[in-house]
Structure 1
Amino acid sequence: MSGPGTLTDPQERAARVRFRRAVSLMAMTLVLPGSAQLACGNRRVGRAALRTWFALIAIAIGCLLVAALHREFAFWLVSDLAALQVVRIALMALAVGWAALFVDAWRLGQPLSLQMGHRRAAVGINGILCFSVAAVLLFGAHLVGVQRDFIQTMFGSGDASGAHDGRYNVLLMGGDSGVDRWGLRPDSLTVASIDAETGKTVLVSLPRNMQNFPFRRGSVMHEQFPQGFDCEHCMLNGVYTWALDNKELFGKAKNPGVDATIMAVEGITGLKINYWAMVNLKGFRNLVDAVGGVTLNVRSRIPIGGLGSDVYDYIEPGKQKLTGFQTQWYARAREGSDDYSRMARQKCIMGAMLDQLDPTVVLKNFQKIAQASSALLTTNIPASEVDRFIGLALKAKDQKVATLSIVPPMFDTYEPDAKLIRSKVAETVDAAEGDAPKAEPASDDGSSDAKPAKTKKPKQPEAVTGGSVGSLGDGYAANESQDLDAAC
């Protein structure tokens, strides 16, 4: 005979069946939300939940397929404010609705008919499933909100600017210290000229100490300085503060310092600027730390310190991963070096960041990157253009980056030859696009199939302080190259 509580007891078997039924209803809700209600609850609710679930799956699969075939759609989805808001609200609604279905599935399992042990287990299982699913969805909604706030805070709301001669020209300005100097006297000025179709990028840098340079004809600054910026001790990085001291000349302009600097850059290079970005080099360290550091080839010792204080440490030579603090000094150090070496190093950092920032790293450290970037960058690139520049950046990642710096020995920074500069800029852009003229060797009968004459390989310049080979006399390779990675 079998006593009460044994496996053959009908009441015990019935209790286990009821418990398995309760757990099954919750498992059904996890796999197919609404299926528990359709099986033994409110069928109208179940049908509505299942239809919603299948519709969301179809939309998700459709978006993935479109994104796989057209990356521009994916870039639009992660940068459009309205689309991000829709996704955020949908995730929050899904979290609440799914949690409600779990609670109803627990109710349908008739918890009061279960044994006390089974009742507690059912409550625990339902709680874990309910809160786990809701937490994942709400965290996803939070990340979407972070992305939306990042786009809204970082980028402007102005009109988009069309490409000039098939290229977008973005002026990057870098401030070199703390809050007291942020936005004033940019110490680094580089134009990123980007092909609107291929993403092929040319970096054109201008030294902060350039003098007597022209402004774009017809601009406010050209009217004030028709012979060039020839005031006493006036240099390129002083245009910003000069404009701030003379705001009345710029009407209702929101950023007269930026506007004046653009007038100078356009007058010097002949490139028409589409957009600008002000980069806080001190905040740059947080971005580097957020992505886990950046690997650079340090060609000689880089001092940490100086610039009015004592040198107290060094970044030693060799290929190594630098922290944000080290990368900041790699970019700004001038002790025992010169401005032109520093410009070359900054280009090497730009190239390394472009090469090493992949989507996996960005997703893994998304919140840190968003927070660091908000403190790092101010720009007038409109939010509507973010998807375009994300696409161009990914295209540029797989290509060689060409560079040109307006520095000695090729250029005189005190009395710059504007025609020579513009000609060299155009030549560099054409070479990067593959449009530069190429001389074809000719045979005696006039055909062009003769072997080219051997040329003597130029002597490799010795490394000086910085990431690029070269010297002040020979020129730093990263300041003029069709392949920035090779120069660094």
Structure 2
Amino acid sequence: MPGHGQEVGDTTSAATYTAGGTEERAARVRFRRAVALMTMTLVLPGSAQLAYGNKRVGRVALRLWVALLLVGLGCVVASALDHEVAFWLVSDLAALQTVRIALMLLAVGWAALFLDAWRLGQPLTLRMGHRRAAIGINGILCFSVASVLLFGAHLVGVQRDFIQTMFGSGAASGAHDGRYNVLLMGGDSGIDRWGLRPDSLTVASIDADTGRTVLISLPRNMQNFPFAKGSVMHQQFPHGFRCDHCMLNGVYTWALDNKKLFGKAKNPGVDATISAVEGITGLKMNYWAMVNLKGFRDLVDAVGGVTINVRQRIPIGGLGSDVYDYIEPGVQKLTGFQTQWYARARTDSDDYSRMARQKCIMGAMLDQVDPTVVLRNFEKIAKASSAMISTSIPASEVDRFLDLALKAKDQKVSTLSIVPPAFDTYQPDAHLIHQKVAEAIDRAEGKAPKKSSDTVVASSGTGGDQGKPGAKSKGAKTPPTVTGGSIGSLSSGYAANESQDLDSAC
């Protein structure tokens, strides 16, 4: 019966093949189901539980997810319609703490849903290869989502610490005559020195509505100046700061040496300096900020450098040591180290040229800082800023100043420096200074006629009458004089020190 035996064998083989194929298909179905559950958890957290698991957990998770999406979408829309909402979100301590906790809880909860989705996929029924693949997929999804959320919580924590550490907790100060006046003080980074003798003093007078800014700078070596009436310093020096070697940058240390006069003041040096600046300019200060130039170097590096038109060789070194290198002329992107020397170099230069260069850096930073670069280097920038700046601006006002900074970015920056040849820094005329400060602010607001030219630029030359005010050049138009790396000269005035458009003067 050979034919009959062959027929029985064929039937058995076919049945075995059919059974094997069915099992293979069933294994693939179980694997796809397990992967689908994990994918559902990725797209709609809780949907896997709602379909195959604890429906109550699934409903709660889905509702929370939808609520978070709606809140997030609402914040995005509100921020797009009103920038102040976005600035409030990134500066309010309570809001930041809420977001931070929410991100951490979301990371833990989402990871738990992934693990439960893996359980619902019945891993013990999967073949070993499929089981390993499911474990790998679940692990990648779980750790990827959780790590992104936890890293976001970390960045929010960094921002919160930055706001809490850097900004004050005092009461907000209202605008004076429609403007916020902030005193910016820059100190060198020597050991135990920064902040003790501010070598750079600039008032940023900012329109409270438009953000239009006027930078008013005072030289560190100004003498015989008045203090604001009613201040402690005015009581001690009613006829001005008249004493041997008494200069503006020495007010800070004088106050520290006489702390008892200031009672319980937290920053007598700052208070004394503010009374001097108010007496000189006639402006009432709202807030102050102390900038450590060493920290400024780190900030420039964190934002990727700053592009400056270096108009003349700038020495690196000097100030009591040897010059050992130079920043060469030309438009180039400077590192933090180079930017620091561009701002502070005085060898083959003078204080007033240095003040002009510092203004150029301020303008360049305002124009060039890219929000995408800030996001990519946020932690570095926050760390550098915390080390760079101490300020009295309260945390509650950060959103307001962020909004004003955004408005100022698209406008011209005006400058006025209380320096020669327009002003006498040894016997300053307070009435004249008050008048010129008021005129500079009025011009910036469009309330006064503009000057015949936007900037003060001297004629070029190396000898004779060239480079002197009123000198006429023959033949082709000559380029402007550049002294100490700044357009202009000590006798004719540096362009960046008095300009209606800082960009054009730099």
The SS at the match of 1:9 is helix
* Amino acid of the structure 1 residue aligned with 2:154: H
Of 482, 494, 497, the residue aligned with 1:476 is: 494
Task: State the partner residue of 1:462.
Answer: 481
Q: What is the DSSP-based 3-state SS (H/G/I as helix, E as strand, rest coil) of the residue aligned with 2:56?
A: helix
Alpha-carbon distance change, 142 to 217 in structure 1, aligned in 2, over 3 angstroms: same
- In structure 2, distance between residues paired with 1:111 and 1:409: 84
Aligned runs of 1:77-226 on 2, under 5 Å? Answer: 77-226=89-238
1:401/1:2 Cα in 2 relative to 1: closer, same or farther (>3 Å)?
Answer: farther
Task: Give the distance between the partners of 1:438 and 1:32, measured in 2 at CA.
Answer: 61
Taking the TM superposition and a 5 Å limit, the aligned residue runs for 1:415-426 are 415-426=427-438
- Bigger radius of gyration among the two: 2
Q: Counterpart of 2:361 in 1: which secondary structure? A: helix
The one of 423, 429, 444 aligned to 1:432: 444
**Match of 1:181, SS?**
coil
* Consecutive aligned runs of 4 or more in structure 1 exceeding 2 Å deviation: 1-8, 456-461
- The CA deviation string for residues 233-279 of structure 1, in whole angstroms up to 9 with x for no partner, is 10000000000000011010000000000000000000000000000
Find the aligned partners of 1:366 and 1:333 in 2 and give their Cα distance. Answer: 29
Report SS of the residue matched to 1:159: coil
Distance 1:8 1:399, change over 3 A: same
Cα offset for 1:388? Answer: 0.3
Matched-pair contact (CA < 8 Å) for 2:290–2:390: yes
Q: 2 CA distance for matches of 1:487 and 1:7? A: 86
Aligned residue type for 2:159: Q
CA RMSD between the two structures:
1.6
Matched residue, 2:330 = 318
Give the TM-score normalised by the residue count of structure 2. Answer: 0.91
Name the residue aligned to 2:265: 253
Residue in structure 1 matched with residue 361 of structure 2 by the alignment? 349
CA separation in 2, counterparts of 1:230 and 1:67? 53
Q: 1:70 to 1:355 in 2, by over 3 A?
A: same
With over 3 angstroms needed to count, the CA separation of the structure-2 counterparts of 1:392 and 1:8, relative to structure 1, is same
What secondary structure does 2:106 align onto? Answer: helix
Distance 2:277 2:122 in 1: 75
1:2 deviates by 5.4
Which letter maps to 2:498?
A: E
| Structure 1 residue 178, shift from structure 2 partner | 2.4
1:442 counterpart residue number: none
Unaligned runs of 5+ in 2: 1-12, 452-471
Q: Note closer, same or farther for the CA distance 1:438–1:13 as it changes in structure 2 (3 Å cut).
A: closer
1:100-151 Cα shifts (integer Å, max 9, x gaps): 0000000000001111111111111111100100000000000000000000
Q: 1:2 to 1:210 in 2, by over 3 A?
A: farther
Question: Secondary structure of 1:284's partner?
Answer: helix
The Cα shift of 1:461 comes to 3.9
What are the within-5 Å matches in structure 2 for residues 26-45 of structure 1?
A: 26-45=38-57
One-letter amino acid of the structure 2 residue matched with residue 479 of structure 1: N
What does residue 299 of structure 2 align with? 287
Match of 1:380 in 2: 392
Q: Offset at 1:201?
A: 0.2
Residues of 1 paired with 2:413 and 2:90: CA distance? 26
Q: Within 1, Cα distance between the matches of 2:243 and 2:224? A: 8
- Structure 1: any 5+ residue segments left out of the alignment? 440-455
Instruction: Work out the CA distance in 1 between the residues paired with 2:442 and 2:201.
Output: 21
- Residues 461 and 471, structure 1, Cα contact 8 Å, conserved in 2: no
Contact 2:299–2:384 (8 Å) recurs in 1: yes
Q: Distance in 2 between matches of 1:431 and 1:299?
A: 28
1:185-239 deviation per Cα after TM superposition (whole angstroms, max 9, x unaligned): 1000000000000000000000000000000011110111111000111000000
What is the one-letter code of the residue matched to 1:144?
A: V
Q: Which moved more, 1:172-181 or 1:207-216?
A: 172-181
Q: Residues 352, 427 of structure 1: CA spacing in aligned structure 2 closer, same or farther, 3 A cutoff?
A: same
Q: 1:225 to 1:19 in 2, by over 3 A?
A: same
Question: How far, CA to CA, are the matches of 2:240 and 2:251 in structure 1?
Answer: 12
- Aligned equivalent of 2:455: none
Distance 1:342 1:20 in 2: 70
Is the contact between residue 443 and residue 450 of structure 2 (CA under 8 Å) also seen in structure 1?
no
Q: TM-score, normalised by structure 1?
A: 0.94
**Secondary structure of the structure 2 residue equivalent to 1:278:** strand
**Cα displacement (A) at 1:361:** 1.5
Aligned to 1:297: 309
2:500 paired with 1:485? no
Secondary structure at the residue paired with 2:202?
A: strand
**Number of residue pairs aligned between Structure 1 and Structure 2:** 471
Query: Per the alignment, do residues 5 and 163 of structure 1 end up closer, same or farther by CA in structure 2, a change over 3 Å counting?
Result: farther
Query: In the alignment, what sits opposite 1:71?
Result: 83
Shift of 1:460: 6.4
Give SS of 1:307's match: coil
Who is 1:56 aligned against?
68
Residues 224 and 154 of structure 1: is their aligned pair in 2 closer, same or farther, counting only changes over 3 Å? same
